């Protein structure tokens, strides 16, 4: 059990992906963990199955003399469980930093997009190389049912969340920066404010050669000149770690790896799309900086099968392919749909669930433009997550931008898809909410129609 942390810790909002992972990690370490949440979910069920007590309400009576109370950014200031005396009450990011500092080296993956895939892929590489890393991720690792890995090695791999400026609570020895873009404009004043926050985060890394940053990203490039000796990666630019001759296939991507202008041979990854080639390059750069041999890196990349909700194939037969993806920003949607377009000729039916009223308000035009990469598009109600409704902000703001986009209530989507689906179709759900829950019903009805 950790000597730096108290034993008895209570988590307010324990069902969130970041909170649930941290709670599970500390439980594995031997701490006495309890938590509360308003929703019963896959995450809370997983925690209950390993022995963590969870209360499905927020009330002061849930606290049984904890030595620390932890809460997420989604918890409002008036929550009764965080307004207590004589007990340390801290945000998740502060606790996350204390946990990751227990390992000799801390690798964070930061950026607006690609964090979970990159962090999962890096964890896979370090595991296959025998480094036995610990990891706290924003998505469930395939084959594990969990978003953590509890290892005994010197490395801890963590996603650094920019929402609420949480990543500025972290002090890593190494970091990957995937990209910088306008996002979370309810938190940041401007794109320049976002850039300066990432610069502040990067400058705390002790050896700035241990910063692996994407040179292809224009916003990130704008701040890289203020970081000396940063290690770069990219496809379009003359980066330290570069991909050439990219081939995009239906179940993998292949490219020639160039390190410091030297051709290092062919690399294959079991992921689709140029955005995933960039994610792989980031991992190659970081693994190389940490002393993992290229042969080990290459072998691990070829064996990686992905993480849950990241272009995850939920069902496939001779006629149909059903995919689920967590994309919830226009850039992510565009990258995901382009990856399918570039590797397959099949018609694409996209089902998008907007995530947050504030994000819909900010990007409804960009959402519409990105979604038009699909052949048929259905947009469901907004998933509110932590937010209250904003007057006048609905999914129809998106669908009104183009006649190709159709509004549809979530409970009616399955029947509509079954009416229009044709052999060869790819159906993809997009969004960070609960749109993925329609897959089980859709799969069942497709299979019943075959018999």
Structural domains in the chain, sorted by start: 8-92 (3.40.50.720), 103-303 (3.40.1190.10), 312-450 (3.90.190.20)
pLDDT of residue 308: 66
8 Å CB contact between 257 and 266:
yes
Rounded to 5 degrees, φ, ψ at 321 are -130, 125
What integer best gives the mean pLDDT of the chain?
Answer: 91
| C-alpha atoms less than 13 angstroms from C-alpha of 150 in its C-beta half-sphere | 13
Least confident stretch, 3-17, 97-111, 166-180: 3-17
Q: Which residue has the tokens 């209530």?
A: 409
8 Å CB contact between 364 and 398:
yes
Token couple for 162: 């920019």
Closest by CA position to 4, among listed 133, 90, 101, 149? 101
Euclidean distance between CA atoms 451 and 446, whole angstroms: 9
Rounded to 5 degrees, φ, ψ at 88 are -60, 130
Whether residue 4 is predicted with pLDDT greater than 90 in this model: the reply is: no
Q: Of residues 451 and 396, which shows the higher confidence score?
A: 396
> In 3-state terms, what secondary structure has residue 441?
helix
| C-alpha atoms less than 13 angstroms from C-alpha of 190 in its C-beta half-sphere | 3
> In 3-state terms, what secondary structure has residue 272?
coil
Q: How far apart are the first and last CA of the chain?
A: 54
pLDDT of residue 328: 86
DSSP class of 185: T
Rama region for 143: left / alpha / beta (φ>0; ψ in -120 to 50; rest): left
Whether residue 3 is predicted with pLDDT greater than 60 in this model: the reply is: no
Angle between helices 294-303 and 274-289 (to 10 degrees): 140
In whole angstroms, how far apart are CA 240 and each of 209, 234, 260, 274, 289? Answer: 11, 8, 5, 17, 12
pLDDT digits (tens, 9 = 90+) for 133-152: 999 998 777 667 788 999 99
Euclidean distance between CA atoms 373 and 395, whole angstroms: 18
Q: What is the CA radius of gyration of the chain?
A: 22
Q: Which residue has the tokens 């595991």?
A: 127
pLDDT digits (tens, 9 = 90+) for 89-100: 999 999 999 999
> In 3-state terms, what secondary structure has residue 433?
coil
Q: What percent of the chain has pLDDT over 90?
A: 64
Burial of 199-212, coded b for 16+ CB within 10 Å and e otherwise, reads bebbeebeebebbb
Instruction: Please state whether the predicted TM-score (pTM) of the whole model is above 0.85.
Output: no
List, by residue number, the catalytic residues. Answer: 115-116, 159
Token couple for 326: 């967590």
> In 3-state terms, what secondary structure has residue 89?
strand
In whole angstroms, how far apart are CA 30 and each of 49, 50, 101, 376, 397? Answer: 16, 12, 17, 50, 49
pLDDT digits (tens, 9 = 90+) for 305-360: 766 677 788 888 888 888 898 888 898 898 889 888 887 788 999 999 999 999 99
Q: Which residue has the tokens 């002061």?
A: 60
Euclidean distance between CA atoms 410 and 337, whole angstroms: 21
């Amino acid at each position: 059990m950790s000597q730096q942390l108290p034993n008895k810790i209570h988590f307010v909002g324990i069902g969130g992906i970041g909170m649930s992972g941290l709670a599970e990690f500390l439980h594995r370490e031997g701490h006495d963990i309890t938590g509360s949440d308003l929703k019963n979910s896959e995450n809370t069920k997983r925690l209950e199955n390993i022995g963590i007590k969870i209360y499905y309400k927020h009330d002061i009576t849930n606290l049984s003399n904890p030595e620390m109370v932890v809460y997420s950014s989604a918890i409002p200031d008036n929550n009764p469980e965080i307004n207590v005396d004589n007990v340390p009450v801290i945000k998740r990011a502060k606790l996350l930093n204390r946990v990751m500092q227990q390992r000799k080296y801390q690798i964070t993956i930061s950026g607006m997009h690609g964090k979970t895939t990159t962090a999962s892929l890096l964890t896979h590489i370090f595991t296959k190389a025998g480094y036995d890393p610990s990891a706290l991720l924003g998505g469930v690792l395939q084959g594990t049912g969990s978003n953590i890995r509890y290892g005994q090695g010197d490395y801890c791999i963590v996603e650094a969340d920019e929402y609420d400026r949480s990543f500025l609570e972290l002090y890593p020895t190494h970091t990957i920066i995937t990209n910088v873009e306008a996002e979370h404009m309810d938190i940041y004043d401007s794109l320049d404010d976002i850039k300066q926050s990432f610069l502040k985060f990067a400058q705390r890394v002790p050896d700035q050669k241990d910063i692996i940053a994407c040179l292809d990203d224009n916003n990130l490039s704008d701040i890289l000149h203020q970081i000396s000796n940063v290690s770069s990666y990219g496809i379009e630019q003359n980066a330290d770690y570069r991909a050439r001759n990219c081939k995009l296939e239906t179940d993998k991507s292949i490219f020639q790896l160039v390190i410091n202008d030297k051709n290092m041979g062919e690399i294959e990854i079991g992921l689709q799309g140029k955005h995933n080639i960039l994610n792989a390059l980031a991992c190659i750069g970081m693994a190389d900086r940490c002393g993992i041999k290229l042969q080990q890196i290459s072998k691990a990349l070829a064996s990686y099968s992905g993480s849950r909700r990241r272009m995850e194939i939920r069902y496939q037969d001779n006629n149909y392919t059903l995919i689920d993806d967590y994309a919830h920003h226009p850039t992510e949607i565009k990258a995901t749909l382009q990856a399918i377009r570039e590797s397959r000729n099949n018609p694409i039916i996209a089902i998008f669930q907007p995530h947050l009223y504030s994000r819909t308000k900010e990007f409804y035009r960009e959402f519409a433009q990105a979604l038009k990469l699909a052949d048929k598009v259905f947009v469901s109600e907004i998933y509110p997550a932590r937010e209250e409704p904003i007057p006048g902000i609905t999914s129809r703001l998106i669908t009104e931008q183009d006649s190709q986009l159709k509004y549809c209530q979530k409970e009616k989507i399955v029947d509509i898809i079954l009416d229009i689906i044709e052999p060869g179709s790819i159906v993809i759900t997009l969004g960070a909410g609960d749109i993925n829950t329609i897959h089980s019903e859709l799969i069942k009805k497709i299979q019943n129609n075959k018999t």
